[in-house]
Amino acid sequence: MLARYLRGVSVFIFTVLFSSVLQAKPPNILLIYVDDLGYGDLSSYGHPVIRTPNIDNLANEGLRLTSFYAPSALCSPSRAGLLTGRHPYRTGIKSWIPHDSGIYLRSAEVTLAETLKAVNYQTAHIGKWHLNSDLGSKEEPQPTDQGFDYFYGHNAFQIPTNKNPVNIYRNGEALPEQKGYTADLYADEAIQWLNDRDPKKPFFLYLGMAEPHVTIENPDEYNAMYAQYTNGPIVPIRSETDGPAKDTLKPRGPGEYYANITYMDAQLGRVLDWLKDSNLAEETVVVFASDNGPVTSDWLRWFEVNAYGDTGGFRGRKHFLYEGGIRVPAIIRYPVLVEPGSTSDVPIVATDLFVTLTAIGGGDVPTDRSIDGVDISPVLAGGKLPERSILWALASVSDIEFALRKGSWKLLSDKRQTPVALFNLEEDPLEFFNLLEQNPGVVEILSQEMDMTLADILTDRFRPNKEMKFRFSQ
């Protein structure tokens, strides 16, 4: 009885606190989504070598999430889930979007930029988009068609590398070769947009960094920081469609990958410093997260040869629904609500950010469709969330295409929705021990939840009829 009373008091206090926050001036929102960064790729998440002082400082000033999940183990569906709050499968995007495939985020979807723009936010997306098959096409919705006032960036991956990219667009127009590296180009553009905006309005800036997605190049001084981890001269790997046979390549070690993350961190530091120098840090919600797990030393494609992402010990990697493919680093700094230097192990998904940031900005979450994300504001204030099931669906390179987590249990199923593995993440976070045969009751319950959720998704009235076909590449 006492425990129930205390929980009730806590909920009441949080409700009053959060209501007072919402009644104040709407905060600015900076959403940083980086590409293929592993759970263990930051020093604040335990990496023994990689230096990330700016992101680590963000963690010291905010909330570090230790059970944060991407909506998918691949780029495009993850970004669809982030911006819509809906399971990527509902949007018709189950895998990465190939160029000229005709796959894109439909105009019927409501994005975070749209919910915030409706309440007077200025909106910009700078960086990686990858939610259509052709940037600049008049036949497919562009970022500026989906709530963003301004766009500067690329689509799938940087060509030929992240140095001097030739596939950058600004507001629907293709640009000539951009001199510099994507990290500094995007930081420069972000700062310029922030300087040019209307200071009387709150802003929403979605900053999609290209790093550390291969193929990478770095300024010499960053490579020099990790020279002891690099074998032989650095010859850039470029993003040509066809390359040498995998067994003919000789990895140079992790030095370039480490340098790329440190370089990205430095450029993010410039944007974060701008907030402080402009006296806007206290008025800005900053969210940092990765779109999926990393490319590890167990690389699958020839151009991934020198990628050495760290999953923090979790099984799997990008392309897989084991924890290493979907559990990623995430940090939230919100000075009016978040205790500096705090951590939370509450399972959270990037789809939750749509609901939470819309609420923080004073916008309205759509009520005419299924929204899979939930408001995580109680977690930001140090609380918990009611237990729920979380589903992933992925056109996979393995036979595992579905995963569902509820509490400490996680069920993996094949493309026929047949269970293939069951793990207790509390006792076995690294997914070593398959408990499928020992727990038939748990398997039955989770299977039923998976089946019901998938049935609901497949009958979603906003889901496009055209099914996304999987192609193994990006």
Q: Which residues are 207's β-sheet partners? A: 32, 126
Whether residues 347 and 414 fall in one domain: no
pLDDT for the residue 394 = 92
Among 162, 265, 288, which Cα is nearest to 216's?
A: 162
Handedness of CA 377, 382, 384, 389 (dihedral sign): positive
What are the E-state strand segments in 222-353?
Answer: 284-290, 330-333, 342-344, 348-349
Whether residues 370 and 397 fall in one domain: no
Full residue range of the structural domain in which residue 317 is found: 22-384
Domains in the chain, number: 2
pLDDT for the residue 325 = 97
CA distance readout (Å), 52 to 40, 48, 70, 244, 312 = 12, 11, 21, 33, 16
- For the chain, list residues with pLDDT below 50: 1-13, 15-16, 19, 468, 470-474
Q: Is residue 153 part of a domain?
A: yes
pLDDT for the residue 160 = 93
Side chain identity, residue 40: G
SS3 188: helix
- Interval 443-472: pLDDT, tens: 999 999 999 999 999 999 999 865 545 444
Q: Taking the chain, what is the end-to-end CA distance rounded to the nearest angstrom?
A: 54
* Residue 250 belongs to domain with CATH number: 3.40.720.10
Q: Is residue 464 part of a domain?
A: no
d(CA 170, CA 136): 9
pTM over 0.85: yes
- Interval 259-318: pLDDT, tens: 999 999 999 999 999 999 999 999 999 999 999 999 999 888 888 889 999 999 999 999
* Residue 401 belongs to domain with CATH number: 3.30.1120.10
d(CA 326, CA 311): 10
